[in-house]
Structure formats: C-alpha cells, structure tokens
Amino acid sequence: MQYSQLGQTDLEVSRICLGTMTWGEQNTQQEAFAQMDYAITQGINFFDAAELYPITPKAETYGQTEIIIGEWFKARGNRQDIILASKVAGPADGWLPHIRDEATRCFDRQNIEAALEASLNRLQTDYLDLYQLHWPGRKTNFFGKLGYKHDPEDQPVPIEETLSVLNDIVKTGKVRHIGLSNETPWGVTRFLHAAEKHDMPKIVSVQNPYSLLNRSYEIGLAEISIREQCGLLAYSPLGFGVLSGKYAGGARPEGARITNWPDYNRYMNDEAVAATEAYVALARQHELDPAQMALAFINRQDFLTSNIIGATNLEQLKSNIDSINIELSEEVISGIEAIHKQHPNPSP
C-alpha cells in the first residue's frame, strides 16, 4: 500500500480508501465485516462513511452504514488503527425528508452538532478523524449539474458561520480535521480564505467525483489541492462501476447498482457509453483489467490524497485494491488522453 499525508495534518492515509455506502443496502453486516477485515490486511487504514448512507437513501436504512462500522469497531477493538471519515447532510430540496427536519436542515450549529452526535453514537466512537460537509449548503452546480445559475432567493448559512461551528467541534476533540465534498473552486477558496482570516481550521481534503468519465476536477480544483494542501478524495472512480465494462452491450448484471436503480444513469449517457467502450478496449489491448486501469489512472495523480473504492463482493474489492500495484505505461496514458480528447468529461 502507498500512503499520503492528509492535508497539513500528521495523518498518513492509505492511497486507497475503503468506501462504505453499500453496507446496509447491497451488503449485509457480515459482508461488510469481511470487507473491512480484508482491507486492513492490505494496508488500508482509511474508511469513508456518511450519515446519509447507505445508498440509495431512505428512512428504513438511514444510518445503517455507520451502525455496521460501529459494530465492527466494537467486535475488533481497533478504532485507534483506523482513520475514520464521515459527512453531515445539508439542504436537499425535499429528497431527504427522513434526515432531521427537512425544512430547516442546513449547515448551522443545531444541525451540525446534532448530526455529529448521532454519527458518533452509531459509530461507537468519541471522535472522527475527518468530518466533511457532504455537499454545499448553497444552490450551485454539483451532482452532475453543468453551469452555474444564480438564485437570488437562495439564503444559505454563511461560510464563516459554518466554519465557526466546525471550529468549535474541533476544539471539543470530537472532530480532528474538516473537509468538503462536492464543492466548487469558489467554495473551496472561500473556506480557505475564511480559515486564514479568522484563524480557524483549514480544510484538509475535497471529496469530489473523479474518473475517466469525469475529469472536471483537473480544471479548477487540482491546482488548489496542490498549492493549498487539501487533496482530492476521489469518489465514483469507476463511474458507478460502468468503467469495469460490466454493463457493456446493455448488460445488467444481477445485483449491480444500475440494474437495481436505473435512474442512477449519470454515467450511462450515449457519450459516456462510447467513451467507456473505448477505455475498455484500450485496457484489453494492453492486457489490463479495465477497472484496474481506470483506478490506476487516478492513483497516479499528484493532486490525489486517496481514491475511494467500493465493492459489493470480496473479489471486486481485492481487484480494486490491487490497482495500487498497477503502473500504467506511457503508451496506455497516451491512449487514455486520446480517448479523453475525443470524449471529454461525458459525465460531469
């Protein structure tokens, strides 16, 4: 395993992070335990969760992922060996009515403190190593939205106020470090500026989508990550599994995410399908596993802190973790860039 410094902290996190969002929905507790047990044998010391999980979010399973992780900590007694991240859900325009009060959920003191206490209880721990805002508290372009359309009626909690709350919970010791997720360059720079201006905690990471089908992070955020030491935690590195090639030719494997939830089609538009076919063909031309090639491309980026991989079975997990050992040749990289030029960011 390879390791990266988490921001300017003294934490060294595994370059592969174990994603957890299938636990409690597509995976049972027993299966999740097996994944965590295997991951730590491979040198993974970084787990990423969220109060929202599992996916897809619904009242019946709300918080189950964190509950499963908490039970694993209780059974294994190894909380101190894991760098644990979770996230607080923000305003969501009606699609998360089961999380606190839908009408007043935002990144204010009441919501953040309540969410944190609930997560700590489910996780059976008294601290988080990294606490992240799951998405911006304002209306902007994230979750696949292109372009920014200003809403003059949008009145989000000011970034300085949210950061002040995060500052206070860091002081309590319940959170060691803070990060953002699904953020824009403007949002990241405003949090950095507010931290410097008011001597409050600096964000140490940005968890955004990044894959061969969505390299938009490179445009504005990559330089920020490097210069400000707040590296990318890449999620959806396989585009909901699409880049493995398992949906090729219209296939819908039993139990796969897009099979179960066809509305999750962000990575299945015509341009994305064409790009995926090209990437899969390139991998096979060079006798590479398509998923491992896609992950290895991410692993080599200098703005990356950790690549968040997820799996619904151990074979997938083993293959994904093994991507850390894959060195892509210049010929493969050239092939990837040629495909990217032909099909740039088909799934933003």
Q: Which residues are catalytic?
A: 53
Question: Cα–Cα distance between 26 and 21 in angstroms, integer?
Answer: 9
Burial of 192 (0-12, 13-18, 19+ CB in 10 A): middle
**Is residue 160 left, alpha or beta, with left meaning phi > 0 and alpha meaning psi from -120 to 50?**
alpha
For residue 73, which of 11, 125, 25, 128 has the smallest C-alpha distance? Answer: 125
44: tokens are 């993974």
Question: Cα–Cα distance between 206 and 130 in angstroms, integer?
Answer: 11
DSSP 27: B
At 309, is the secondary structure helix, strand, or coil? strand
Question: Cα–Cα distance between 285 and 281 in angstroms, integer?
Answer: 6
Helix (H) or strand (E) holding 292: helix 290-299
Question: Cα–Cα distance between 219 and 213 in angstroms, integer?
Answer: 14
